[in-house]
Amino acid sequence: MTTITPISQSRHSALRWRRWDSYAFAAKHAVVPLIAAELAKAVLAFPIALIRKNEAFVPVAVLGLEAGRNLFVAEDGRWLGAYVPAALRGYPFVLGRTEEGKQLLCVDEGSGLVGGSEGERFFEDDGTPSKVVRQIMDFLTQMERNRDATAAACAALQSCNLIEPWPLAVKTVQDERKIDGLFRINEAALNALDDEAFLGVRRSGGLPVAYAQLLSMQQVRVLDLASTRAKRAQEALVAPDLDLSWLDSDILKLGGKPH
């Protein structure tokens, strides 16, 4: 049963919502969608891949080595990466659409952040959305517009046959993990494009997506570090005196930011 509910004055005028103070809600997301506008920052934090969604491709942050586990979320809910994907920053709000295509601001009433006497109001006394809710709506609307632009960029890359399977294998302390279902840019094919095709990809906004994906592949080692950190954090529950400071040092060398 879905808990995503359109915000309405009749349902939410007397309710309050609280800002999240933990990324536990993202702990099971091994991949998170990205939009083109954030790729320049995302490329410094984690590997970026493309995944197939129906007949199209979508850029995603690769945050785990297996389904249902995000290595960038600590046991206590802290975010361990150098960048937080925009798709996670609007929680517990999401943008929905009516059958006619009209945008609706919705909230996850199962998030544990809706209800009670403390927190932010959904509506002002005059029935208009509160300032914070309007800001969230603007943020999610901008994301949606950029998502459309990102889709157009990926479509151009796909039409030029620049997307190929990425057989990603990450060596961890324990073993080697293979991640299926990921795609990458074929760099050789990109460099071999004729002038007309290259200009078409550039006009579509496909080049920043392609270069960001290629550059981000050097961040695969971050997954190894995150996996090691998660394993040692689990061991620390049994051995509290375990020293994890060396991991923070390695993450800093990679451009990360421990929390």
Summarize pLDDT for 63-115 with one digit per residue, the tens.
998 889 999 999 999 999 999 999 999 999 999 988 888 889 999 999 999 99
Residue type, 182: L
Q: How many residues does the chain have?
A: 259
- Cβ atoms 49, 184 nearer than 8 A: yes
DSSP annotation of 188: H
Summarize pLDDT for 15-64 with one digit per residue, the tens.
999 999 999 999 999 999 999 999 999 999 999 999 999 999 999 999 99
Write down the pLDDT at residue 235.
55
CA distances from 211 to 20, 49, 89, 196 (A): 33, 11, 25, 19
pLDDT at residue 249 above 60?
no
HSE-up (13 A, CA, CB side) for residue 200: 14
**Residue 63 or 230, more confident:** 63
Residue type, 140: L
Cα separation, 49 vs 157, in Å, equals: 13
- Cβ atoms 61, 85 nearer than 8 A: yes
Write down the pLDDT at residue 119.
93
pLDDT at residue 236 above 80?
no
CA distances from 236 to 65, 74, 95, 110, 241 (A): 21, 13, 40, 32, 7
**Residue 233 or 221, more confident:** 221
Q: Write out the H or E segment, with its range, that includes residue 232.
A: helix 220-238
pLDDT at residue 251 above 50?
no
pLDDT at residue 255 above 50?
no
How confident is the prediction for the chain on average, in pLDDT? 87
Taking the model in full, what pTM does it have?
Answer: 0.83
pLDDT at residue 250 above 50?
no
Domain boundaries of the chain, sorted by first residue: 4-253
Phi, psi of 216 (to 5 degrees): -70, -15
Q: Write out the H or E segment, with its range, that includes residue 6.
A: strand 4-6
Cα separation, 195 vs 203, in Å, equals: 12
**Residue 49 or 252, more confident:** 49
Residue type, 63: L
Cα separation, 153 vs 186, in Å, equals: 15
Tokens 């279902």, residue located: 181
Would you tell me the crossing angle of helices 195-203 and 131-159 to the nearest 10 degrees? Answer: 170
